[in-house]
Structure 1
Amino acid sequence: MLVLCVLLALLSPLTSAQTYRWGACPIPKVQPNFQLQKYLGRWYEIAKLPASFARGKCIEANYAIRPDGTIRVLNSQFYKEKVRTAEGTAVVPDLRNPARIGVSFSYFTPYSPYWILSTDYTSVAVVYSCTDILRIFHVEYAWILGRSRFLPPETVRYAQDLLLTEGVDLFRMTATDQTGCKDDEHVTATC
């Protein structure tokens, strides 16, 4: 019990920027017959559960296949008066279940789950990630993504309903500010 208290005390400064829940991670259903090639390209963040690594506005992600078969993940956001980017690598650990992707932004960290729960490939995607901490509690993330910076309210509601059906608590989900964004800035700037 002492270990748990110490661990929670160390994590408490991050709690406002993450979503923690008791127990092990749920295992939601993912997109059947997922086709990675159709998913590649640019996605804009419409809404998310809090994430310490994404606090800015104009948040987007671009996915592309590298020559070695891994997926290049290039995230960008406008934060503290600057466009900031982060490049990561994604892999499909089990080709029988391609909607369950693993993503890492460092050579020193394991791949984190990036599960595509639903997508139509052309307008909206619903993504979920969860990491167990000693199976006592878990850290979860959820994103609603769009191929355009703004989605119709009924599309956002569909995505929210899907997450709720899978047991994801959306109390802390917030809309991402996609106003005043300039697409050409996101390509050239770095952290």
Structure 2
Amino acid sequence: MLSLSAIGVLLALCGGAFSHTYHLGACPVVEPMPGFEMNKLLGVWYVIQKTSTASHCLTYNYTKTDEPGKYEIEQVSQHFILGLTPLKHDYRYTGTLRVIDPAVPARMKVNFPLSVAGSASYTVVMTDYTSHAVIFTCQKLAFAHRRSATILSRTKDLDRIYVDKMRSKLAANGIDPYDLSIISQTECPAQNGSEGVNINIEPDTFSSHNIGQAVRKTGSAIADGVEYVVEAGKTVYHKVADSKEDLTETPNGRSHSLKDEVEWLP
């Protein structure tokens, strides 16, 4: 039987699968921010709202790499179980961002280790660099696409005037702001605490075996479960990619029944 910590790890891994919605056709054309400067976006941001997610205490940290036009984005989240005391674990998930066209630096490509579908577009729609930002990501499938929008803040609280402004910007680009979930940033435990386990999924952690090894210290059962979930996710993705069905309509209100899929988008 899995321990509470093991269940928490699986919930964290599986919960990320629903940070986007599925739609037929090509990705929508979303206008990138003109005059964008990536160096000003670097640093830590709190995620205030995000498409269809149940995450808590979610932050992004953008950093430079030695390669021009290449950056890293680290997602850090901590999870709660049934409203009880938060688990003593940090979940860190690191991907890479690349500027494809230097003339349009606000339009990038992002790649995360657990994304079996490959890279996704990553568009900075608007930001003032010091208080708020809104990001739109989209990944093309065979007959459909999946999308995610994220509202960021430099602080744990963001004035409603900025939130409304960014939601209106998304709506103007054809993105339904009502798909966004509010993410709690209150009572978040301190990161990098002395207790618990840090789960790190980094760009060189691509195989299900390596992912299982990343959490092996929480117990062999949970690590084996993670490996199973990753492999199941690959199977589900290929099934979806080859399907012509309307992925936006399901009985449970989700965009698709992907409870076993482990694929996170920022």
Aligned pair in 2 of structure 1 residues 31, 160: CA closer, same or farther (>3 Å)?
same
Aligned pair in 2 of structure 1 residues 64, 133: CA closer, same or farther (>3 Å)?
same
Give, in whole Å, the separation in 2 of the partners of 1:16 and 1:30: 24
Aligned pair in 2 of structure 1 residues 18, 43: CA closer, same or farther (>3 Å)?
same
Secondary structure of residue in 2 paired with 1:63: strand
Q: Does 1:76 align with 2:62?
A: no
Letter aligned with residue 123 of structure 1: S
Q: Does 1:127 align with 2:135?
A: yes
Shift of 1:112: 1.4
Aligned pair in 2 of structure 1 residues 66, 167: CA closer, same or farther (>3 Å)?
same
Shift of 1:184: 3.9
Larger relative strand fraction: 1
Q: 2:174 aligns with which of 149, 167, 171?
A: 167
Secondary structure of residue in 2 paired with 1:189: strand
Tell me which residue corresponds to 2:211: none
Shift of 1:17: 5.2
Q: 1:153 aligns with which of 147, 155, 160?
A: 160
Tell me which residue corresponds to 2:146: 139
Whether the 8 Å CA contact 2:131–2:155 is kept in 1: the answer is yes
Secondary structure of residue in 1 paired with 2:100: coil
Q: 2:46 aligns with which of 32, 41, 44?
A: 44
The number of residue pairs the alignment matches comes to: 173
In structure 1, stretches of 5+ residues that fail to align are 1-13
Larger radius of gyration: 2
Tell me which residue corresponds to 1:5: none
Whether the 8 Å CA contact 2:23–2:144 is kept in 1: the answer is yes
Normalising by structure 1, report the TM-score. 0.82
Q: Does 1:105 align with 2:87?
A: no
Tell me which residue corresponds to 2:22: 20
Q: Does 1:114 align with 2:114?
A: no
Shift of 1:21: 1.8
Letter aligned with residue 190 of structure 1: I
Shift of 1:190: 3.0
Letter aligned with residue 159 of structure 1: M
> Mean alpha-carbon deviation: is it higher for 18-27 or for 88-97?
18-27
Give, in whole Å, the separation in 2 of the partners of 1:16 and 1:73: 19
Larger relative helix fraction: 2
Give, in whole Å, the separation in 1 of the partners of 2:95 and 2:19: 21
* Aligned-pair Cα RMSD in Å: 2.3
Normalising by structure 2, report the TM-score. 0.60
In structure 2, stretches of 5+ residues that fail to align are 1-15, 81-86, 201-266
After superposition, what is the alpha-carbon deviation per residue over 1:37-85, rounded to whole angstroms, capped at 9, x for unaligned? 101111110001125xxx4211001011112332121110002512210
Shift of 1:15: 8.5
Letter aligned with residue 57 of structure 1: H
